[in-house]
Amino acid sequence: MKAGYTGTVSSNHSSIVKSVEEILGLSILSKGSSASDLSALFESGQFP
């Protein structure tokens, strides 16, 4: 994770679900497809 990171992208439940789906290689649910994932919290190339 990025140390001291503050960002402007809002995260919510759909963001967490989308990130878990991406990490596990699952298809993205249609309701979460427009949500941002949590990749901004990680160093480049470190998103699981």
Q: Which two tokens stand for residue 40?
A: 């901004």
- CA atoms of 28 and 44, how far apart (whole Å): 22
- pTM here is 0.70
**Domain carrying residue 40:** 1-48
| Total domain count, the chain | 1
- CA atoms of 22 and 3, how far apart (whole Å): 23
Angle at 26 between CA 13 and CA 48, to 5 degrees: 75
Amino acid at 25: G
Chain segment 15-45, per-residue pLDDT in tens: 889 989 988 999 988 777 888 888 888 877 7
DSSP at 16? H
